[in-house]
Amino acid sequence: MKQFTVAIVGLGGRGLYTYAKYQEKFPERMKIVAIADIDPEKVRYASERYSVPADFCFDSAENLLEREKLADVLIIATQDCQHRDHALAALKRGYDILLEKPVAVTVSDCIDIRDAAIRAGRSVTICHVLEFTAFFRKIKEVIKSGVIGEPVTVEAIENVGYWHQAHSFVRGNWRNDEIESPMILQKCCHDFDILSWLLDKKCLSVSSLGSLKYFKKENAPEGSAERCCDCKYAHSCPYSAYRIYFESKEMGYDHGNRDWPLNILTENPDRKSLNEAIEKGPYGRCVFHCDNNVVDHQIVSMQMEDEVTVSFTMTAFTAQNFRRVKVMGTLGEIVADQRENLVTVTPFGGESTVYDITKLADDLSGHGGGDNRMMTEMFDALEKGGTVSSSIKEAIAPHLVAFAAEESRKKKGERIFMAEFEKTNSK
Ligand SMILES: NC(=O)c1ccc[n+]([C@@H]2O[C@H](COP(=O)([O-])OP(=O)(O)OC[C@H]3O[C@@H](n4cnc5c(N)ncnc54)[C@H](O)[C@@H]3O)[C@@H](O)[C@H]2O)c1
């Protein structure tokens, strides 16, 4: 088995805490040989943890990419709006690439990257990690088996979760589409990818509605403060930073969590550093007093090929963060709940079969096992010369659906036809 050398640019939640960690699990497959981040603390931490020599530690992706090719594969885990420049420079240097989603933040940038990858003859894998999960693979297998007949319509929901919305889309990196990207692209290129992949059908048109309804100044409770540390609702408001980062049973420090999302507030979360981050940093701001503008709820109706329809909902206003899909076919239905990790298949007039995904997969860490499986399959494909699921060629179509859905939302639900949209928006 070949050990691949890897360079990582962007040592944040994904670069450091997801992809670098792969080496700890599979050291025979991957060796980190170069790293870059604009935060010197992250570079120092990663260089010590993964023994990367000082000459191969860089203070930016740009500086790493100034050098000749340093590794077999470049992992690009910088921010959405940086992907284009980093990917195009990496292709010029001759890297095969693992590129975080979204591919880029405009249609033409996405297409530029795809075309440059084709010209360079390099492999570019997009991190549509859901395709690599046992959960979605089981649903696809059931559809393919024919047991529910022809799928006719799908109802899908992305329950973002009130705390995840507050963390990432109100206080955090993806709060403002002028700084990063629209939420339907950032969060749901995954969903548009998986829906098309499950059904094996292209999307022909979309129509979308949604808005930022709640996380705005006018909804701030009477007498609330601009930061949680000064607020009389600090221990009663469900969106309070103290309740999310300390007290939450799911991810709070008081309940033993030391990883994401706490490690986004501070490198090595402890009581003192978390309190400081809440008092001074962006994650301690009141959710009603941030510079956010992305939606908190959005629905998308999709017309797929062969008269198949999909209705998709993304909403902040849920207790938990998970996806749920119901596929309704001519001969039966599938109800799949990612929280319960169950896929229930019921042929009409027959008995239900329940697949417990926890019994089918040995690794459900990181996006239900998708993160590690994607890395493994990418390395296998690179070694054997095959193609990996979720290559840049396949990833563009679901991105276009997200861009079109955003345009439709801005035009109050106007139906957008994908063929026309692609033609007008590509250079
Ligand atoms: N596949 C998924 O499911 C998934 C999940 C979360 C995030 N993402 C995507 O992954 C990417 C990274 O997200 P994250 O959560 O790790 O964000 P993050 O902010 O935690 O990490 C980004 C890192 O890039 C660094 N950076 C900024 N400018 C740089 C430059 N010029 N050179 C080198 N480093 C630079 C930042 O300092 C930061 O450490 C984003 O595009 C995001 O949308 C994908």
Which architecture does CATH list for 131-214+294-425? 2-Layer Sandwich (3.30)
Tens-digit pLDDT profile for residues 299-322: 999 999 999 999 999 999 999 999
Q: Using the mean position of ligand 1's atoms as its centre, give its distance from the Cα of residue 15 in Å.
A: 7
Give the residue, out of 78, 103, 321, with the most ligand 1 atoms within 8 A of its beta carbon, to mutate for a pocket test: 78
Q: Whose CA is nearest to atom 11 of ligand 1?
A: 77
Ligand 1 environment, Cβ below 6 A: 9-15, 36-39, 42, 60-62, 77-80, 82, 100-101, 127, 129, 173, 186, 264, 367
Which strands sit side by side in the sheet containing 416-417, from one edge to the other? 353-356, 342-347, 332-337, 322-329, 151-159, 309-315, 297-304, 203-211, 416-417
Q: Using the mean position of ligand 1's atoms as its centre, give its distance from the Cα of residue 12 in Å.
A: 5
Instruction: Extract the runs of DSSP E, i.e. beta strands, from 195-330.
Output: 203-211, 297-304, 309-315, 322-329
Tens-digit pLDDT profile for residues 149-160: 999 999 999 999
Q: What pLDDT shows up at residue 387?
A: 77
- How many CB atoms lie under 10 A from the CB of residue 218? 6
**Residue range(s) occupied by CATH 3.40.50.720 in the chain:** 4-100
Structure-token pair, residue 189: 């290129």
Q: What pLDDT shows up at residue 410?
A: 97
The overall average pLDDT reported for the chain is: 96
Q: What mean pLDDT is predicted for residues 312-340?
A: 97
Q: Which residue reads 């103290």 in tokens?
A: 242
Q: Using the mean position of ligand 1's atoms as its centre, give its distance from the Cα of residue 20 in Å.
A: 13
Is the CA virtual torsion 52, 53, 54, 56 positive or negative? negative
Q: Whose CA is nearest to atom 33 of ligand 1?
A: 37
Overall CATH class of domain 4-100:
alpha beta
pLDDT band at 73 (very low <50, low <70, confident <90, very high): very high
Q: Using the mean position of ligand 1's atoms as its centre, give its distance from the Cα of residue 233 in Å.
A: 32
Q: Using the mean position of ligand 1's atoms as its centre, give its distance from the Cα of residue 143 in Å.
A: 34
Give the residue, out of 8, 9, 14, 179, with the most ligand 1 atoms within 8 A of its beta carbon, to mutate for a pocket test: 14
Type of residue found at 277: A
Q: Using the mean position of ligand 1's atoms as its centre, give its distance from the Cα of residue 407 in Å.
A: 25
Structure-token pair, residue 389: 């699921």
Q: What mean pLDDT is predicted for residues 253-259?
A: 95
* CA–CA separation, 360 and 317 (whole Å): 31
* CA–CA separation, 400 and 317 (whole Å): 26
Q: What pLDDT shows up at residue 319?
A: 96
Q: Whose CA is nearest to atom 7 of ligand 1?
A: 14
| 4 bridge partner residues | 30
Chain CA centroid to CA 198, Å: 18
Q: Whose CA is nearest to atom 14 of ligand 1?
A: 13
Q: What pLDDT shows up at residue 427?
A: 64
Tens-digit pLDDT profile for residues 90-149: 999 999 999 999 999 999 999 999 999 999 999 999 999 999 999 999 999 999 999 999
pLDDT band at 390 (very low <50, low <70, confident <90, very high): confident
- In ligand 1, the atom with minimum distance to the C-alpha of 78 is 24
Q: What pLDDT shows up at residue 43?
A: 97
DSSP state string for 102-163:
SS-SSHHHHHHHHHHHHHHT--EEE--GGGGSHHHHHHHHHHHHTTT-SEEEEEEEEE--HH
Are the C-beta atoms of residues 232 and 240 closer than 8 Å to each other?
no
- In ligand 1, the atom with minimum distance to the C-alpha of 173 is 19
Q: Using the mean position of ligand 1's atoms as its centre, give its distance from the Cα of residue 10 in Å.
A: 6
Chain CA centroid to CA 264, Å: 15
Enter the pTM of the model: 0.94
Q: Which residue reads 């570079």 in tokens?
A: 43
Q: Which residue reads 């693992």 in tokens?
A: 98
**Residue range(s) occupied by CATH 3.30.360.10 in the chain:** 131-214+294-425
Q: Using the mean position of ligand 1's atoms as its centre, give its distance from the Cα of residue 175 in Å.
A: 14
Q: Which residue reads 């040592």 in tokens?
A: 11
